[in-house]
Structure 1
Amino acid sequence: TGHPDLKFKTFVPRELRLTAKSQDLFEELRRHDVLLHHPFDAYDAVVSFIESAAEDDRVLSVKQTLYRTNEHSLIVPALIAAAAQKEVTAVVELKARFDEASNIRWARDLEDAGVQVFHGLVGLKTHCKLSLLVRHDPDGVTRRYAHLGTGNYNAATARIYTDLSLLTADPEITAAVHDVFSFLTAYAEHPNYEPLMVAPVDLAERCLALIAREAEHARHGRPARIIAKMNAVLDKNIIMALYRASQAGVKIDLIVRGMCALRPGVRGVSDNIAVRSIVGRFLEHSRIFCFANGGQEEVYLGSADWMPRNLYERIEVIYPVKDALLRERVKNEILEAYLADNLKARVLQKDGSYIRAWQAQGKRKPPSGSAAFNAQEFLIAVAEGKQPLEAIPPEPPKRVRRPALLERER
C-alpha cells in the first residue's frame, strides 16, 4: 500500500542456539529442557526435531499427532521419508474443522508410504500436540525425546499465533507421552498418565483439584494465586471452583482471548478475580496455568481450554514445566508481560462488557510514550535483544479481599 506506517514492522524470530557443549539438539535436551515461545522463537527447531526422524540414523521410531498442518508442510514429508527405514506412527484427526479434506489427503499419503495411521478414539477428537522420538544415543543408551505443544504442527500459523513448545528428554514425561500414544492407538489405557493431565481421563478432575488446593492454601495464610491464560472459559464446574477460590482469598488473574462465562468483581462471589483479553498483531493461542501452591509454584502448559468440549469430548494433554528457570520465564517474561499490557488489553466487567485496560485504571486517555506497554511488541523486542525483562511495568497493587471481610459484607 501507499501507507507503510499502517503496516507492522517485520521481525526475525529468535533461532534456538545450542550451548557450546552440545553437538546437536538431542545432547542439549539430555542436559536440560528447552522452551520455545512462538512466534518470537522460531518454529524451525520443532520442524528440525521431527525431520531428524528421517535424517538421523540413530532415531529408531517416531510417533506424531496431527490436528492441523499447513498445505506445504515439511513435517508430513519427514514422516513419509522416515517410514522407509523406521517405525512411524501418526495419529491424524480427520474432523479438524475446515481441514478435513487436507487431513484425509495427508492420511492417505502417509498410509501409502507405510506409516501406521490411526484416527484416534471413537467419539473423541485428538486435539493434543505430541511428538515422540526413540533414539539410540552415542553412549549406548536408548532414550525417548518428546515435543509437547500448545499449538498445531503448522509452520505457517506458528508465525502468527502465540504458542509454546516444550522439548524434553525427561524420563517421566516421555514415558507418559508414550502411554498417551498407546491410549490413542487403542493398545492400552491407563488409570492416569502422570505427570501429564489427559482429557477425558482426569484433566477436569485434576484442574478442579489444583484450584481447590489454592483455596486451601489461602485459608491457611500461605501464598495462593492462580494465573491462567487460554482461549475460552466456559466450563461450569471450573467457574464455580474459581468462585470458591476467590471467596477463600485466592488472587486470580485470567487472560482469556475469547469467550468467558465467568463474571469477575462480583461482591462476595468473585471479588478477587480479574479477566483480560488481548487481541493484537498475533492470535493469542497458548494455554498456561500457573499456581502459587503455597510457595512451591507449579506451571503447566497444554492444548486445552477450560471448556466442556476440551475437558470431556477431546483428547487433550496438559503437561508440567519442571525446569525452575523455564517456570520463571513463563511467569516473569510471558505472563507478567500480558498482565502489564495497557494498549491491546481489554478488561472484562462484572456486567459482561469489556473496557480498555487504561480505562479500567481510571485514565481518560490511552497511554503514550514510555507509559504505553504492548505485550506482543515487547516480546518481539526481547527476542530481538532490544528490551530487557526489567522493562515490564510493575504490577499495580491489588487489595485481596479476605474471607472474613467477605463474610461481614454478605
Structure 2
Amino acid sequence: MTAARLDDEPVPGDQATHETFDVDPPYVPDAEALEHLAGFENRFLDRELSWLRFNVRLLEMAENDTLPLLERVRSMAFFASNLDEFFMVRVAGLKRRIDAGMAVRAASGLMPREVLEAIWTRTAEQMKRHAEFWRDDLVPALSANGIDLVRWDDLDREEQKFCKRFFKDRVFPVLTPLAVDPAHPFPYISGLSLNMAVLVRNPKTGKEHFARVKVPPTFSRFVSLGNQRFVPLEDVIGEHLKRLFPGMEVLQSHTFRVTRNEDLEVEEDDAENLLQALEKELLRRKFGPPVRLEIQESMTAQVLELLTSELGISPQEVIRVPGPLDLRGLHAIADLPREDLKYPAFVPITHGNLTEVETASPVDVFEAARRHDVLLHHPYDSFATSVQRFLEQAAADPHVLAIKQTLYRTSGDSPIIDALVDAAEAGKQVLALIEIKARFDETANIRWARKLEHAGCHVVYGQVGLKTHCKLAMVVRDEPEGIRRYTHIGTGNYNPKTARSYEDLGLITTNEAIGEDVANLFNNLSGYSRKPSYDTLLVAPDSVREGLVERIHQEVTHLRAGRPSGIRIKANSIVDEATIDALYLAAREGVTVQLLVRGICALRPGVPGLSETIEVRSVLGRFLEHSRVFWFQNGGDPEAWIGSADLMHRNLDRRVEVLVRLPEADSRDQVGRLLDLAFDPDTHAWLLRRDGSWERNEGKVHLQETLIEGHRRRT
C-alpha cells in the first residue's frame, strides 16, 4: 500500500453490486469449538488494566524526543486529565461495587479488589514516572528552547517583586484560609481542586494549628513572568502565607489534591422528570466520596495523617509525587505561540465532491449529494465546509421542510445549535434529540436543550434507560421530483471544535433505503414507533452485536468455501466478550483478523490455538483516532460499516448506536485504503502482545502525516 493510493478520486456513480452467495450450511460454532474456546479461561485481558496501558502509550508520546516539544507537553497534560477521569469514573465504580457487596469476578478472571490493588500499584508508578519525566527531562528541554518553568527559589529579585505585587493586588483578595479546630470543622475539599495544607503555630501558646488554603482556579495555573518564564501559582501563594496568617508562625505548607467519585446515577423511571433528576444529581456529584489523594512528596507524616483521617482515605489511595501537582495546566504551556515547537500547521480542505474543480469554490451540498455519496474524513476534510454547511444550508433553504438531529456533545459556541434555532424560527420542523446524560457535558447539554426549546424546536431526551450516542442528521426537502431525504451518519460528535483534532468519518447520502431507515429510527426515538430491524443499519441495543457476530461467522463460511475472507475493525475500544469470542472462533478456522484499537483491548492476540491469525495495532498521533470501521472481505465483495459504536457493553447494551453499511463501492474502497495504510507493516504503531503489553513498531510511515500530505497534494 503506497501513500499515493490515498489520493485516488472516487468514480461518480460507482454503485455497490452486492453478490448473494448460496452457501449451505452457514458457519455455526459446534459444541467442540465452544468447548475448545472455554478451555482458554484467561482469554480476556482486564479492561481497566488495558486502559492504563493505553495511557502509558500517551506518556510514551511525551517521552518521544522526535516529536515537537510542545506537542510532548500537551501529551503530558492529556495523560494527567485522562487519569483524573479514570479515577472519577472507573475506580469509583469498582469501589462502589465492592462496598455494595456486588464484587463479581470480571471476564479477565480478576475480582474487583484484585483489579483495584493492581490499579493502585500501576498508577502510583505511572504518576511518579510522569512527574519525574516532567521535572528531569521536559523542564530542561523547554528551558533550552527559551521557555522556563521555574520554582520560587529560581526567581531573581525583580521577578520576586513582581510576584509580590501580583499576590497583593490580585491573589490575596481572593484567598480564604480555613482553620481546623473545635470551632471550625474540617472543610469540604472539592474534587480536583489544588489545595495547600498549612501548619501554623501560635507563638504565645506554642500550640500548632492546621489550615487549608485553596489555590484559586480563577487564575492561570502558571504565573507568567514575561519572556516565556512561568512560576506555579502555589509557589507564589506559599511564599506569602504570612500575610494570610498574621501573628502566626508558618511552620510548613504542602500541596494536595483530592479526586472524588463523579459518576452519575440517575433514576429514569419517570422520563418526564429526567431533566430535574439530572440537575439534582449534578449537585450531588460535587459531594461524591474521595477515591484518590495526591500529595506533594515533601508532606510530613503529621499532615498526611490529618488529611487521611478527615477525608477517610486509606493508605493505598494516597499517591506521593514530586511537585508541581495537577499538570493538566500544561495545556496553557502547550498553547504558547511557538510554532517552531509544534506540528506544522494543517488547514483542513473542502472535500473534492463539495468543491467546484475549476474555481475551487464551495458547491451546493444538496446538489453534490444528489450526484454522489460524500464520505468525509475529518479533520482532513473540513467539518465547516461539509457537515456544518449542510445544516446551515438546510436552515436557510426555503425548500427544506424539516431537520432531525441527534446531539451528544457540541462546542460552547455552536454553529450547529445556531443553525437549528434559525431553522425553527424560519418555520421548519426541527427535532433535536439531545443526550443530556453525556458524561461531564450534562450541564452544557441542559443549557442547549432549553435554548432549542425556547426557539420552538421539538426537543427529546432519548429513551429511558438508554443513552443516545448515535450521530445522525436528516434533512427533508421538497423537490420537483417529490420529497427527498438527505442523511448524515457519522462516527463523531457534531462539534466543530473537536472536529479539528478528532479523526472521524461521516457519510452524506440521498440513498433512499438509508433515508427510510434513519426516518424510522428517529420516529422510534421520538415517539412510540417501533422498528427493531433495518435494511441498511445496525442499531444497538437490538442488532449491532448480533449483526457483527453474524458477519464474523460469515467470513468463516467464505473461508471454508475457498472464497476470500478477512476481517478488519477500527475502534476506540474492544471489550465485549461475545464479539471477541466470535473473532477467536474465526481465527481458529484460519480467518485473518486485523484490529486497530486506540484504547482498551481485552482480546489476546497471537495465542496458539486461539488467536494466531489476529493482529492488534494502536496508532496515536497529533489527532485522536476516533472513527469506528467494520470491514469484511465477504467472499470478494467487501462490505464496510461505519458508525458510533465501540465494542463495549455500554455501547452494545445500554446505548442507542448506529452503524451504516456504505452503499457505494468508492466509499468502501476509500475505507479499504485507509485500513491498508494502517496495517502496512511499515506503518508506525504499537503492537499488542498476548500478555497485554504493547511494543512500539518503529515504522517509517506515519499514518496521520501520510494522510495530511495526501490532502495537501489535493489542494
Q: Structure 1 length as normaliser, TM-score?
A: 0.88
Q: Give the match for residue 26 of structure 1.
A: 366
Identity %: 49
Letter aligned with residue 380 of structure 1: I
CA distance in 1, matches of 2:409, 2:681: 30
CA distance in 2, matches of 1:133, 1:203: 25
Q: Give the match for residue 95 of structure 1.
A: 437
Helix, strand or coil: the match of 2:713? coil
Q: Deviations along 1:311-361, whole A, 9 cap, x unmatched?
A: 1110000001111111111101x1112112756410000111000124xxx
Q: Deviations along 1:205-256, whole A, 9 cap, x unmatched?
A: 1111000001111122211100100000000000100000001111000000
Query: What is the aligned counterpart of 2:464 among 111, 119, 122?
Result: 122
Equivalent runs, 1:7-406 vs 2, <5 Å? 7-17=342-352, 18=354, 24-44=364-384, 45-84=386-425, 85-137=427-479, 139-332=480-673, 334-340=674-680, 342=682, 344-358=684-698, 372-385=700-713
- Misfit runs of 4+, over 6 Å: none
CA distance in 2, matches of 1:105, 1:251: 48
Instruction: Indicate conservation of the 8 Å contact 1:340/1:375, yes or no.
Output: no
Letter aligned with residue 193 of structure 1: Y
Instruction: Indicate conservation of the 8 Å contact 2:541/2:652, yes or no.
Output: yes
Instruction: Indicate conservation of the 8 Å contact 1:63/1:181, yes or no.
Output: yes
> Offset at 1:279?
1.0
Distance 1:341 1:73, change over 3 A: farther
Letter aligned with residue 390 of structure 2: F
Q: Give the match for residue 363 of structure 1.
A: none
CA distance in 2, matches of 1:218, 1:262: 22
CA distance in 2, matches of 1:191, 1:198: 8
Structure 1: segments with no counterpart, 5+ residues: 359-366, 388-410
Q: Give the match for residue 398 of structure 1.
A: none
CA distance in 2, matches of 1:241, 1:53: 43
Letter aligned with residue 10 of structure 1: A
Q: Structure 2 length as normaliser, TM-score?
A: 0.51
Q: Give the match for residue 396 of structure 1.
A: none
CA distance in 2, matches of 1:344, 1:97: 32
Q: Deviations along 1:279-303, whole A, 9 cap, x unmatched?
A: 1111000000100001111000000
More helix, by proportion: 2
Instruction: Indicate conservation of the 8 Å contact 2:378/2:500, yes or no.
Output: yes
Letter aligned with residue 39 of structure 1: P
> Offset at 1:186?
2.6
Distance 1:27 1:343, change over 3 A: closer
Letter aligned with residue 435 of structure 2: E
Q: Give the match for residue 392 of structure 1.
A: none
Helix, strand or coil: the match of 2:612? coil
Letter aligned with residue 135 of structure 1: R
Helix, strand or coil: the match of 1:385? helix
> Offset at 1:53?
2.5
Letter aligned with residue 60 of structure 1: L
> Offset at 1:20?
5.5
CA distance in 1, matches of 2:540, 2:614: 26
Letter aligned with residue 474 of structure 2: L
Helix, strand or coil: the match of 1:384? helix
Instruction: Indicate conservation of the 8 Å contact 1:52/1:59, yes or no.
Output: no
Helix, strand or coil: the match of 1:224? coil
> Offset at 1:63?
0.3
- Larger mean CA deviation between 163-172 and 45-54 belongs to 45-54
CA distance in 2, matches of 1:171, 1:322: 11
Instruction: Indicate conservation of the 8 Å contact 1:279/1:344, yes or no.
Output: no
Helix, strand or coil: the match of 2:708? helix
Distance 1:341 1:255, change over 3 A: same
> Offset at 1:51?
1.0
- Larger mean CA deviation between 6-15 and 245-254 belongs to 6-15
Distance 1:290 1:24, change over 3 A: same
Tell me how large the CA RMSD over aligned residues is: 1.7
Letter aligned with residue 48 of structure 1: R
Q: How many residues align?
A: 373
> Offset at 1:307?
0.7
> Offset at 1:268?
0.8
Instruction: Indicate conservation of the 8 Å contact 2:369/2:508, yes or no.
Output: yes
> Offset at 1:33?
0.3
CA distance in 1, matches of 2:666, 2:683: 29
> Offset at 1:183?
1.1
> Offset at 1:16?
2.5
Instruction: Indicate conservation of the 8 Å contact 1:146/1:168, yes or no.
Output: yes
> Offset at 1:24?
1.7
Letter aligned with residue 251 of structure 1: T
Instruction: Indicate conservation of the 8 Å contact 1:69/1:152, yes or no.
Output: yes
Which has the greater radius of gyration?
A: 2
Instruction: Indicate conservation of the 8 Å contact 1:341/1:374, yes or no.
Output: no
Q: Give the match for residue 161 of structure 2.
A: none
- Larger mean CA deviation between 338-347 and 142-151 belongs to 338-347
CA distance in 2, matches of 1:343, 1:292: 22
Helix, strand or coil: the match of 2:679? helix
CA distance in 2, matches of 1:336, 1:343: 10
Letter aligned with residue 11 of structure 1: F
CA distance in 2, matches of 1:117, 1:264: 45
Letter aligned with residue 702 of structure 2: N
CA distance in 2, matches of 1:235, 1:35: 28
Letter aligned with residue 49 of structure 1: F
CA distance in 2, matches of 1:58, 1:264: 53
Letter aligned with residue 103 of structure 1: N
CA distance in 2, matches of 1:119, 1:110: 12
> Offset at 1:201?
1.3
Instruction: Indicate conservation of the 8 Å contact 2:559/2:591, yes or no.
Output: yes
